[in-house]
Structure 1
């Protein structure tokens, strides 16, 4: 975790470098696994853009507030991708992702978290893997971000 906080610009720099590499391979698709901090908690309101919202979430999940730098780094990488005409997909898993059961039953969303009946954004790592492989095999979110949840 310390490395992701030490230089949060690394995410956007990596995104630019990967897009540059794709210039000579225009049919190659890039799939990036990012974070949920860049999802909109309400239309037009991104958790990563608000110290209050971001710190509240980090406190709830037990991460140090310094981790906000890494969350914003992921958001910046997504913004770099959004300016590109390359073939990219950005995957933001649910806010709460942990090992669990592979159910194969989840919902897919775009820029806002998918919430369960209790208002939580959650997914098992196993179902997140299924969603990612499904997207790699059958592209539906080219030049867009997607998320999943129960």
Structure 2
């Protein structure tokens, strides 16, 4: 990368102000994993199809592999590293563990963020709404039934949180 293509970009990451000096077209995923060492966010397909790279940007679920870092300027990004420090995030993680919705773990960070985003919008989702909310996240291990169960557990145990 030449210095001419470098740009300072400031945003909030997991509640802390950060500044990175990177190519503005570098993806958020590369910035998170390479520059900021936030490795919970995974690269799966690199095409925005699998959800392994899901993060929250301004409270909206996005695929970090398709998100140019320049768009993060002034924004608020939450990764699993930050979310697990919150009561709501821990509620979702605990529910996934209770429902045995975590097997290999590769999709788990994206699933946690997708379920969290769902429950923030709808504290008592039905099965169809849960399946729609996680439809952008591919899992090869669980068959999704246990993840749907986890969403229900998190909704019940987190009653009053959401």
TM, length-normalised to structure 1: 0.27
Q: With a CA cutoff of 8 Å and minimum separation of 6, indicate the structure with the bigger relative contact order.
A: 1
TM, length-normalised to structure 2: 0.25
